[in-house]
Amino acid sequence: MSHKISLLAFGHASSLFISISFTLCVVFDLLFPQQAMYEAWLKLLPGFEWLNWQSFFLGLIESYLYGWFITLIFPQFYRHSACH
């Protein structure tokens, strides 16, 4: 039995998941500044600063691109493990 993952579907799904997670984390940090997690984003997203609109959209774009980065790597492991 062959299971194929659509690269386009997986790419958009993983990118949207990471982008939505980023947005939810920003909202959480604004609502609960004492529990802020934005320092993690500062390390993971080049050029991201806390917080202005330009930086937010840069973080959103970079989060989306991280999803595609994962997409280009993960299916290779999936295909390799499915063969064994």
Give per-residue pLDDT as tens, 32-77: 988 888 888 888 888 888 889 999 999 999 999 999 999 988 777 7
Q: What is the pLDDT of residue 80?
A: 61
Q: Count CB atoms within 10 A of the CB of residue 71.
A: 19
Each residue's pLDDT tens digit, 25-36: 999 999 998 888
Residue 18 in this model has a pLDDT that exceeds 60: yes
Query: Rounded distance, CA 31 to CA 37, Å?
Result: 12
Q: What is the pLDDT of residue 43?
A: 87
In 3D space, the residue among 53, 52, 21 whose CA is nearest the CA of residue 37 turns out to be 21
Residue 1 in this model has a pLDDT that exceeds 60: no
Query: Rounded distance, CA 77 to CA 48, Å?
Result: 30
Structure token digits, residue 54: 């330009």
User: Which amino acid is located at 51 in the chain?
Assistant: L
